[in-house]
Amino acid sequence: MGTSIDAAHTEGTESALSVKKPKVVFVLGGPGSGKGTQCANIVEHFGYTHLSAGDLLRAEINSGSENGTMIQNMISEGVIVPPEVTIKLLEKAIMESENDKFLIDGFPRNEENRAMFESVTGIVPEFVLFFDCSEEEMERRLLSRNQGRVDDNIDTIRKRFKVFVESSLSVINYYNSKGRVRKIDAAKPVAEVFEAVKAVFTPVDDKAAA
Ligand SMILES: Nc1ncnc2c1ncn2[C@@H]1O[C@H](COP(=O)(O)OP(=O)(O)O)[C@@H](O)[C@H]1O
Ligand SMILES: Nc1ccn([C@@H]2O[C@H](COP(=O)(O)OP(=O)(O)O)[C@@H](O)[C@H]2O)c(=O)n1
Ligand SMILES: [Mg+2]
């Protein structure tokens, strides 16, 4: 019933996504590194659809889903939600879109996220955009984000930084070892960061012609 995807959907090795075969870019970086901000710019210039894992989870809470309370508690503590929950939301969003290229922002956040997404969907990202920023700068940004988020308080921010270092960095290291990471200095002003992002998304042919 409703909008949730049938549980059996992710139990097999095949998902509808292995048929659609969308082009995917993972957008990673610590909390407050500017993932959402830069994704909005990329959408405007390069025609991708932006899927923020955090936004999808927050929408799931607001939809009154049976998982809502569990997700809410986990976000409030800054910990990572079980991968089957997040992957189902991502799959659904991709299948409902007519686009075939997606920015997946804030996912995969740990090895479990990464391995399950790969085995369920068969999708390997084109590349991984990694926004590198100091904790001091990220903390400043999160404390003035003003989006009313339950996790943008100093206690939860510190927990999220710890989770990033202990669980998320290994995903970036994994893709780095495969030559797929495009690292961006995200401590600069928004426009300067986007100049570096543009260089990553502009095809080599276009750069030569410019
Ligand atoms: N390069 C930047 N310099 C200063 N502030 C920024 C920059 N990029 C984003 N911000 C601000 O920092 C906060 C966090 O940005 P956001 O895009 O939500 O990051 P993330 O999705 O990585 O948590 C927002 O208030 C945003 O306006
Ligand atoms: N892949 C993901 C992404 C987010 N989340 C949860 O959602 C929270 C907020 O994620 P987010 O991507 O919106 O946060 P920011 O990095 O944008 O600040 C995380 O701290 C996790 O609790 C998750 O469990 N799994
Ligand atoms: Mg974000």
- pLDDT value of position 4: 44
- pLDDT value of position 93: 97
Asked if the interface predicted TM-score (ipTM) of this complex is over 0.85, the answer is yes
User: Which residues are within 8 A (CB) of 27 and not within 5 positions of it... i.e. 6 or more apart?
Assistant: 35, 38, 39, 103, 104, 105, 106, 128, 129, 131
Q: Are 65 and 13 in contact (CB under 8 A)?
A: no
**How far does the centroid of ligand 3 lie from the alpha carbon of residue 12, in Å?**
30
> What share of the chain in percent tops pLDDT 90?
86
The answer, yes or no, to whether residue 23 has pLDDT greater than 50, is: yes
Among the residues of the chain, which ranges form H helices? 16-20, 35-46, 53-62, 68-77, 83-96, 111-121, 135-143, 154-163, 169-177, 190-201, 204-209
Please compute the mean of the pLDDT values over residues 1-19 and round it to a whole number.
Answer: 54
Residue type (1 letter), 208: A
**How far does the centroid of ligand 3 lie from the alpha carbon of residue 192, in Å?**
19
The answer, yes or no, to whether residue 116 has pLDDT greater than 70, is: yes
This model's pTM is above 0.90? yes
- 39 Cα nearest atom in ligand 1: 17
The answer, yes or no, to whether residue 45 has pLDDT greater than 50, is: yes
Buried b (16+ CB within 10 A) or exposed e, 23-62: ebbbbbbbbbbbbbebbebbeeeeebbbbbbbebbbebbe
The answer, yes or no, to whether residue 18 has pLDDT greater than 50, is: yes
Mean pLDDT for the chain overall: 92
Please compute the mean of the pLDDT values over residues 146-164 and round it to a whole number.
Answer: 98
Query: Residues lining ligand 2, judged by CB closer than 6 Å?
Result: 31-32, 35-36, 52-54, 57, 74-75, 78-81, 86, 106-107, 109, 113, 151, 160
The answer, yes or no, to whether residue 12 has pLDDT greater than 50, is: no
Please compute the mean of the pLDDT values over residues 120-149 and round it to a whole number.
Answer: 97
Nearest-ligand number for the alpha carbon of 160: 2
